[in-house]
Amino acid sequence: MVREVHVGNVVFGGNRPLVLIAGPCAIENEDLTLRIAAYLKELTTSLGIGLVFKASYDKANRTSVNAFRGPGLEEGLRILQRVKSEFELPVISDVHDLSQVAPAAEVLDIIQIPAFLSRQTDLLVAAAQTGKVINVKKGQFLAPWDMKNAVGKLEASGNRNILLTERGASFGYNNLVTDMRSLVIMRETGCPVIFDATHSVQLPGGAGTASAGQRQYVGALSRAAVATGIDGLFWEVHENPDQALCDGPNSLPLGDLSGMLRQMLAIDAIVKGY
């Protein structure tokens, strides 16, 4: 049985209904971030599902040195704290090095370890020792069964509040594929598993100095993932993805979310029997 992981009033795992982790790839500005948070809060409340708001204060692994990275640690955390307070939502963001862990833990409800850093022992240990829920994205270079080692590092550091996220595996140049078996395999660790559908359709470096993406496949992959019995979906969303400063090609427009979520919840209810 997959354990339950509690984040405020949101519960992942334990055969509970699907949870949505959603928000813009990066914090572009405060007003946009608050508008997206308000929309997501209203939508998920109307559907009766849990929501964790996601946005990055610093995208440290962009394709180009000139790419937009976000407002930085201090300003980004201030904005996330405002989202957390005004909308009563748990928030999640990435940490990229040890210096970010302590200040991030003062605001974040879930500390996320980026896929490229999923084997970084010191980062995993420091994050675990904050006592926060930790979400580890599976590296694009890792087999799903290898994630037991990340789990082992976190548990050895005294933290069992762990989420694991699938975001596709490298397949040739500038392409990712999702092996749906990985969702089942990672749940065998006992940790709730999230499917990051929008990053799974990313084409890393596919636009030369930026990543491309194929958002038209997010719905199909999400439906397939939910049918395996996962515990949460991770979607990057935006008011106008074509104008987004980060990950626009694989982000979903807000207007598509209601219909898509209703489909996902119908499948989730069949699979989990609620």
What is the model's pTM?
0.96
Q: In the numeric block, which tokens belong to residue 137? A: 């994205």
**Interval 126-165: pLDDT, tens:** 999 999 999 999 999 999 999 999 999 999 999 999 999 9
Residue 184 has pLDDT above 90, yes or no: yes
Which pLDDT band holds residue 209 (cuts at 50, 70, 90)?
low
Check residue 208 and give its pLDDT.
72
Instruction: Give the amino acid at 81.
Output: Q
How much is the pLDDT for 117? 97
Report percent pLDDT > 90 for the chain. Answer: 88
pLDDT at position 65: 80
SS3 label, residue 63:
coil
- Percent of the chain past pLDDT 70, that is, above it, reads 98
From 80, 61, 96, 99, select the one nearest 23 (Cα to Cα): 80
The pLDDT value recorded for residue 271 is: 97
223-261, pLDDT tens digit by residue?
Answer: 999 999 999 999 999 999 999 998 888 999 999 999 999
Cα–Cα dist 255/259, whole Å = 9
- How long, in residues, is the chain? 274
Instruction: Write down the domain spans for the chain.
Output: 5-272
pLDDT over 90 (residue 78): yes
Q: Residue 62: pLDDT above 70?
A: no
Average pLDDT, the chain: 95
CATH fold of 5-272 reads: TIM Barrel (3.20.20)
| Position 61 pLDDT exceeds 80 | no
